[in-house]
């Protein structure tokens, strides 16, 4: 790639949880200006259709258990494309700063002298439960919520103290935790969280292929396996999950279909 004396700007754009219509207005505007788009595996086809036809598309997707680019390789790609002087959009599922490793990309770009801007996105931890009729907080049911990762990372200690978390908050939202759910559930229950706490797991949240299972904390993993739920998935634990049946009926979609 031919370098320019003036580097282009990198925009870290949160694409939202899945449904292309949940992209923010600012995110859509910046995406429309892109000359290079570096995108991940969670990006829906509807969002890719919003990219200018002459923009260069660079897939840098990550999938659990499969060969994928390292974070250093992604950082290097962003820097290399920006040094050509073009406008680069790093399109990331959810929000760049909520388990999206956006902070690492900002630091790498800053060290390389590349200007960047973060465009926040709608995070799955709030939007996916809402799409099911589950409020993450509700008066009388939940006055606190924690967003945690279920993935400890390569060679790292578990970043979450599950024993302390078990009774510290009403609602627990777990990103990337499906494969560890039996261990996580066991630790939460041993530390005082009721085994029959309502719980749910959702894959492809807000997308056209969304799949979900509602159960209890002690049975959730078995029920998710029986239903064929696959990663990546979001786990919701807390009394608010018990509101789903009532709320889903009251919040049934009323918008007209797209022409």
- pLDDT of 63 reads 55
- pLDDT of 156 reads 65
Q: What are phi and psi of 103, to 5 degrees?
A: -60, -40
Catalytic annotation on 62? yes
CATH topology of domain 124-248: 3.30.950
Separation CA 115–CA 31 (nearest Å): 17
CA distances for 1 relative to 4, 83, 86, 91, angstroms: 10, 9, 11, 21
- Can you give the pTM of this predicted structure? 0.90
- pLDDT of 255 reads 47
Question: Residue 129 has which token pair?
Answer: 């439960």
CATH number of 10-119: 3.40.1010.10
Which strands form 145-149's sheet, in the order they lie side by side? 145-149, 171-175, 233-237, 198-203, 211-216
- pLDDT of 151 reads 85
HEC profile of 192-222: CCCCCCEEEEEECCCCCCCEEEEEECCCHHH
* Annotated catalytic residue within 40, 92, 95, 218: 40
CA distances for 34 relative to 4, 86, 247, angstroms: 17, 8, 39
- pLDDT of 206 reads 93
- pLDDT by residue, tens only, the chain of 259 residues: 778 778 999 999 999 999 999 999 999 999 999 999 999 887 888 898 899 999 999 998 765 555 678 999 999 999 999 999 999 999 999 999 999 999 999 999 999 999 999 999 999 999 999 999 999 999 999 999 999 999 876 656 788 999 999 999 999 999 999 999 999 999 999 999 999 999 999 999 998 889 999 999 999 999 999 999 999 999 999 999 999 988 877 776 554 544 4
Domain parsing of the chain, residue ranges: 10-119, 124-248
Q: Are 30 and 11 in contact (CB under 8 A)?
A: yes
Question: Residue 24 has which token pair?
Answer: 């923010």
* Annotated catalytic residue within 19, 26, 53, 62: 62
């Amino acid at each position: 790639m031919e370098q320019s004396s003036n580097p282009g700007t990198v925009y870290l754009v949160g694409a939202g949880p899945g449904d292309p219509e949940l992209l923010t207005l600012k995110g859509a505007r910046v995406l429309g200006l892109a000359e290079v788009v570096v995108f991940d595996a969670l990006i829906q086809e509807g969002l890719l259709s919003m990219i200018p036809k002459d923009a260069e598309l660079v897939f840098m997707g990550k999938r659990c258990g499969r060969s994928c680019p390292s974070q250093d390789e992604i950082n290097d790609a962003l820097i290399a494309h920006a040094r050509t002087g073009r406008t680069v959009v790093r399109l990331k599922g959810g929000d760049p700063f909520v388990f999206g490793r956006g902070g690492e990309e900002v630091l790498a770009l800053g060290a390389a002298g590349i200007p960047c801007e973060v465009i926040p996105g709608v995070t799955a931890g709030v939007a996916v439960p809402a799409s099911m009729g589950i409020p993450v907080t509700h008066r009388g049911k939940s006055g606190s919520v924690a967003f945690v990762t279920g993935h400890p990372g390569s060679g790292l200690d578990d970043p979450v103290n599950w024993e302390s978390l078990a009774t510290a908050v009403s609602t627990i939202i777990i990103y990337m935790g499906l494969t560890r759910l039996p261990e996580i559930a066991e630790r939460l229950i041993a530390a005082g969280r009721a085994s029959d706490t309502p719980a749910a797991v959702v894959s492809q949240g807000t997308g056209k292929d969304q799949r979900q299972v509602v159960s209890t904390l002690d049975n959730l993993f078995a029920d998710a396996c029986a239903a064929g739920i696959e990663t990546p998935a979001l786990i919701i634990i807390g009394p608010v999950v018990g509101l789903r049946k009532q709320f889903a009926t009251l919040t049934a979609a009323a918008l007209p279909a797209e022409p």
